[in-house]
Structure 1
Amino acid sequence: MDITELILEQHIQQRRLFALLDEVPLDDTATLGALWHLLARFLEVHAKAEEEHFYPLVLQLHADAPGDGDDAEDETVDAVKDHNEIRDAIADAANHEVGSTGWWQAVRDARTANDEHMGEEEHDDLTAFRRVADLQTRHDAAVRFLAFEARHLGGVARTHPDPEQYVREHRPD
């Protein structure tokens, strides 16, 4: 088990769930609502698990690698900002009737923010992490990540962490 592979696999699941929404008849709001509820919860738990069990390691391990600390801080700030954009879109969707124009716009906003986040994470954060983290560290992080998700199957409290404050709290001193 490897945290980077786990995150990549979950990104595939997220893309598939968004695609499933596209396949549901527009007038089947019960199915749309059920799928969206599942996807929204998955996105929020995944983001929180990354903030609890991936990005603190990114900051720690990159701080130990010459020249990488500032990049890790910038990437982490960007990731938390992305998570907040996804959370904001999920919250906006809750303000609209499922299947309405406003709801679909919020779902598209969540999808766009999530697609951008996944792309950046896959090209930058996960790649850089694999370069500095040994297999045991990646395995241990994956176990903690999955345990967190298992404990939060019902969802997590919606948070909106300040990205700069998050980095200050999690970077090694």
Structure 2
Amino acid sequence: MLNDKTIAFLVAPEGVEQIELTEPWKAVKQAGGTPKLVSTRPGQIQAFNHLDKADRFAVDATVDEVSAADFDGLVLPGGVANPDILRTVPGAVRFAKGFFDAGKPVAAICHAPWTLIEADVVNGRTVTSWPSLQTDLRNAGATWEDREVMICTSGPNTLITSRMPDDLKAFNQAFGDAFSG
């Protein structure tokens, strides 16, 4: 159970894969936690269903207003554009890295590990992702495996990674268990 736990969802103003935001968000709420949408700009973010615009979601805080100390865990939803944008914003990279520095759990799905590569936190970790990221992750020092979900505890925190929307059930279960502990 995630009672009294507040979980940050870090997303760019545009480009997050909607189902990789909404399904983990629901999982946090159903487990009794409080999800908060953190972005690089205030207002709303634009989600996508692959390449088509989907819904808009209200931002709770920007990366300049909060830190890892304000949360119990971090979820990084995917989509191609979302992490590609986040990894170019120093404040977003610092925010993500802060969870590793604080030893707090992080969950990343699909293309989201790009942000973690930029934060320099995957070296020595075993991860999975959308298959096209495997070379990037290996070049950053990670061991990449093609699995539905990977739970890595070999670093300062628990890192949960998953490949794609088809893996959301396993991803939600794994990060829910890790964030509860």
TM-score tier after normalising by the smaller chain length: under 0.3
Specify which structure has the bigger relative contact order, considering alpha-carbon pairs within 8 angstroms and separated by 6 or more residues. 1
The structure with the greater share of residues assigned to helix is: 1
The structure with the greater share of residues assigned to strand is: 2
Greater C-alpha radius of gyration: 1
